[in-house]
Amino acid sequence: MQLAISAQGIGKGFRTGLWGPVKPVLRQVDLTVAPGAIFGVLGPNGAGKTTLISILATLLLPDTGRAKVLGLDVVREAARLKERINLAASGAHFLWCMTVSDSLRFYGRLYGLGGRALTNKVEKLLDLFGLAEHRAVTFERLSTGLKQRLALAKALINDPELLFLDEPTSGLDQEMAQHIREEILRLNRETGVTMLLTTHNLREAEMLCTEVAFLKGGQLISEGRIPDLQRRLGLGDHLSLIFKDSPAPLDYGRLPGVLRYTVQDSRVDLVLDRVDERLPAILEAVYLMGKKLTKVVVKPVDLEEIYHEITHSPE
């Protein structure tokens, strides 16, 4: 199976000032993304997310390393690769005096579309993103949400096989951000397009991404599926057992999958490896002790914990 993205040893630095030293922004980054995935690149500000995405999107030349996107080298075969990728970025910016329709037609032509094919494509995208009634509105008069929808529509003008999404919901209100996320998921489901997205919003990454990678100080410090990362980092799901009177007299540390626990009054808080698999056995053990539970709270580990663990660990 050909990988959608395969990068080895990517490094990039920028000179500070005209003659100043080169400050490294990316250091020896390796990355693989499977076709059809929605892959999230996470990290604090200045981690190198945009630099990485820009190198993969042929907008920036790497200093070291090699990267292939859709089987094509991002440096030597950039011209061919550009035909098959596209980008939607936060804070969409297009020419202020061009209407929604003009903008889509302009970008369509940049991909070689013309005549009936261009018209059909533009009409389809206007409908798909609810932009048809705003077709004659110039970019400067669009609301932030409509601008972002236009950015996504533009990113699909060439039916890309791989889409780069740089903070796609940044600056949008909750409702619009949710709408865009649903749109992204629908596109991925219906067209199978691979997506590489950067985001600060961990909930967004959790909702959208099948896999994530964490960048810190220009280095990729962790990569994988969220449950795998959880296990690798020793993080667990949370289970709280609240008893009617005193807790069941169990050695909670010996129960299956328990990583750690605390007991306080009538409440036992457990951190478990894969709560969904362990819960029946734990509840059975409690039941056998004859103790009544008033409440059971399950909270799977979230990306925020993983992010916190990774970004606060020493480099």
Partner 1 sequence: MKLRTHLNKIWAFSTRSTLVNRRNVFAIFEMVFWPLIGVFSVGLLTRFLSLSGETVSFILIGAVTMNTVQIAQLDLSYALLYSVWSKSLKHEFIAPVRLFHILVGSGLVGLVRGLLVFVIMGGLSVYFFDMDLGRPGPAGLIFFLLGIFLNAAIIGALVLSLVLRFGQRAEVAAWAFSYLMLLLCGLYYPVSVLPQGVQFLAQLIPLTYFLDYFRHFYGFPLTSSHPLLYGFSQTVVYLFVSYGLVALSLRSAYQRGILLRLSD
Q: Which of 16, 23, 44, 61 binds partner 1 (CB under 8 A)?
A: 61
Are 66 and 8 a contacting pair, CB within 8 Å? Answer: yes
Q: Which is nearer to partner 1, 83 or 309 (CB)?
A: 83
Distance CA 8, CA 239 (A): 40
> What minimum distance in Å lies between the beta carbon of 154 and partner 1?
7
Integer angstrom CA distances of residue 99 from 107, 140, 144: 12, 9, 15
Q: Which is nearer to partner 1, 98 or 293 (CB)?
A: 98
> What minimum distance in Å lies between the beta carbon of 118 and partner 1?
8
Q: Give the number of residues in contact with partner 1, rule: CB under 8 A.
A: 39
> Of 31, 35, 64, 36, nearest to 49 (Cα)?
31
> What minimum distance in Å lies between the beta carbon of 67 and partner 1?
14
Q: Which residues pair with 166 in a beta bridge?
A: 89, 198
59 lines the binding site for partner 1 (CB under 8 A): yes
Q: Which of 26, 50, 220, 268 binds partner 1 (CB under 8 A)?
A: 50
129 lines the binding site for partner 1 (CB under 8 A): no
Q: Which residues within the stretch 187-246 sit at the binding site for partner 1 (CB under 8 A)?
A: none
The number of residues in the chain equals 315
137 lines the binding site for partner 1 (CB under 8 A): no
Site pattern 82..121 for partner 1 (x: CB under 8 A): xx-xxx-x---xxxxxx---x--xxx-xxxxxx---x---
Q: Which is nearer to partner 1, 57 or 126 (CB)?
A: 57
Q: Which is nearer to partner 1, 114 or 256 (CB)?
A: 114
Which positions touch partner 1 (CB under 8 A)?
Answer: 14-15, 50-51, 54, 57-61, 79-80, 82-83, 85-87, 89, 93-98, 102, 105-107, 109-114, 118, 138-139, 154, 158
